[in-house]
Structure 1
Amino acid sequence: MISEQIISLITFASIASVTPGPNNIMLMSSGMLFGLRKTLPHILGVVLGFSSMLTAAVFGIAQLLFVVPGLIWGIKLLGVCWLIWLSLQYFKAAMASTDDNNTESKKMRSRPFLFIEAFAFQWANPKGILAAISCAGAFVSVSNQASERALIIVSVFLIVGIMTCFLWTMVGNVLMQFMAKGPYVKLLNICMGILILLTAAGVVLLV
C-alpha cells in the first residue's frame, strides 16, 4: 500500500513539476537569456521555495492563508507589486537592447532572478500554492506522522523538481545559441515582461 502511494506521489510530482507554468517558462527564458550557470540561483530558489511551502502545507500552516483572508491578500499585494516592478525592468532592458554598445543599454540590461526572489515568488505562485495544498491533502496516508510525511513528500518533490527545473533551463540554454544576439534578445525580454505581468494577473484572479 505504501509503495503504491509512493508511486502515485512520484507521478503527481512529475506531472505537477514538468507541465508548463510560470516557473518553468521563466526558467526556460532565463536559460535563453543568461545560460545555465547564471540561472542556478533561480533554480535553487524555485525548488527550495516550493519545498518550504509544501512543508507548511503538510503541517497545516498553509491553511492560515484561507482562515485569515487578510493575510493572503497582503501576500498577494506584495507579490503583485514586485512582479509588476520586475516586468518593467525587462521592458526597459528590451528597449535598451537595441544598441548593445550604448552605455545606457548596459546599465539597463536585464538580469536573472536572485535566489531570494525566486524563493519568495513560490508563495505567490497560484500553480504552486494549489499543488502544495492538493498534495498535502491527497497523500496523508503516506505516513501517520506529519514530520515523516513531510520528509517523504518534500524529498520526492525536491528530486523531481530539480530534474524538471534543469530540463526547462537546458531547453532554453540550447535555444540560446540561436537567439543570443540581435532582435531575439529584445523579443525575449519583452516576452519575459509579458509573462511576468500575466503571472501577476494570475496571482490576483486564481488564488
Structure 2
Amino acid sequence: MTLFLAMAMFALVTSLSPGPVNILATITGANHGYVRTIPHIFGATIGFVSILIILGLGLIQAFDGSHTATQVLNYLGSAFLLYLAYKVATSSKTEQDETKKNDAPTMFQGLLCQWLNPKAWIVSLSGVTVFSSNGVIPLEDLGAFSVIFFIVCYCCISTWALLGLTIGKYLEHPIHYKLFNRIMGGLLALTVVYVFFISK
C-alpha cells in the first residue's frame, strides 16, 4: 500500500506540473471545449503510459547506454512541439463552423505529443528508475504503476483542459482570442526550451 501511495504521489506531481501536453490541453479546452479535448487527453494519456511500459520492460537500458538516441529524441520532439507553439501563437479567431471544429487535436496527435515530448521520457525514465531494483521493475509493480499513472494522468490533463474551458468564456472577442493564443504559444515554446536544456 505504501508503494502504491508513493507511485500515486509521483504520478500526481509529475502529471499536474506545467508541460507541453498540459498547455496544449488548456489551449484546446479554451478554443474547442472539453468534449472536443477528450481525444487529445486520451491519446496523451495512452502515449505516456505506453512510454512507461516499454521503458519498464527493458528499453531503459538502451537509453541509458545511448546518448545519441536521447539527443535525437530531444531534437525531434522539441522541433515538433515548437512547430505546434508557432501554430497556436499565429492562430486567429474564426467563425464557429465545421472547419474550426475539425481543428481540435485527434487522439493520434495527443499520443504523438507525448512520444515526441522530452518531458514525458524524462519523467518515465525517472519513474522506472525510482521504483526499480537494480534497474529492473517487477512486472506486477510495472502494471500497478501503469494503471495508477493512467488514472492520475487523465485526471490531471483534464484539469488543465477544464481550466482552458473556464478561460474560453472570455475569448469571444477576436483580440482576446489572439492575445490568449499568443501568450499560450509563447509559454509552450518556453516550456519546450526549458525541458530541452534540462534533459541535456
TM-score by length of 2: 0.83
- How many residues align? The count is 195
RMSD over aligned Cα atoms: 2.6
Equivalent residue runs for 1:53-202 within 5 Å: 53-94=51-92, 97=93, 100=94, 111-140=103-132, 146-202=138-194
User: Which structure has the larger Rg?
Assistant: 1
Q: 1:84 to 1:163 in 2, by over 3 A?
A: closer
Other structure's SS at 1:179 match: coil
Q: How far off its partner does 1:89 sit? A: 2.0
Q: How far off its partner does 1:110 sit? A: 9.7
Q: Is the 8 A contact 2:15 2:152 kept in 1?
A: yes
Q: Deviations over 1:8-32 (max 9, x none)?
A: 1112212222222222222122211
Equivalent-residue separation in structure 2 for 1:109 and 1:87 (angstroms): 19
Q: Is the 8 A contact 1:45 1:117 kept in 2?
A: yes
Equivalent-residue separation in structure 2 for 1:201 and 1:184 (angstroms): 26
Q: How far off its partner does 1:130 sit? A: 2.3
Equivalent-residue separation in structure 2 for 1:108 and 1:170 (angstroms): 19
Equivalent-residue separation in structure 2 for 1:27 and 1:51 (angstroms): 17
Q: How far off its partner does 1:145 sit? A: 6.8
Q: How far off its partner does 1:190 sit? A: 0.9
Equivalent-residue separation in structure 1 for 2:87 and 2:19 (angstroms): 21
Q: Is the 8 A contact 1:47 1:158 kept in 2?
A: yes
Q: 1:87 to 1:145 in 2, by over 3 A?
A: closer
Instruction: Give the fraction of aligned pairs with identical amino acids, expressed as a percent.
Output: 25
Amino acid of the structure 1 residue aligned with 2:164: G
Amino acid of the structure 1 residue aligned with 2:60: A
Structure 2: gaps spanning 5 or more residues: none
Q: 1:107 to 1:113 in 2, by over 3 A?
A: closer
Other structure's SS at 2:105 match: coil
Equivalent-residue separation in structure 2 for 1:176 and 1:93 (angstroms): 15
Q: How far off its partner does 1:58 sit? A: 1.4
Q: Is the 8 A contact 1:13 1:157 kept in 2?
A: yes
In the alignment, does 2:29 pair up with 1:31?
A: yes
Aligned to 2:2: 4
Please say which of residues 197-206 and 160-169 is displaced more in the overlay: 197-206
Q: 1:87 to 1:171 in 2, by over 3 A?
A: closer
Q: How far off its partner does 1:70 sit? A: 2.0
Amino acid of the structure 1 residue aligned with 2:175: P
* Deviation beyond 6 Å, 4+ runs, structure 1: 106-110
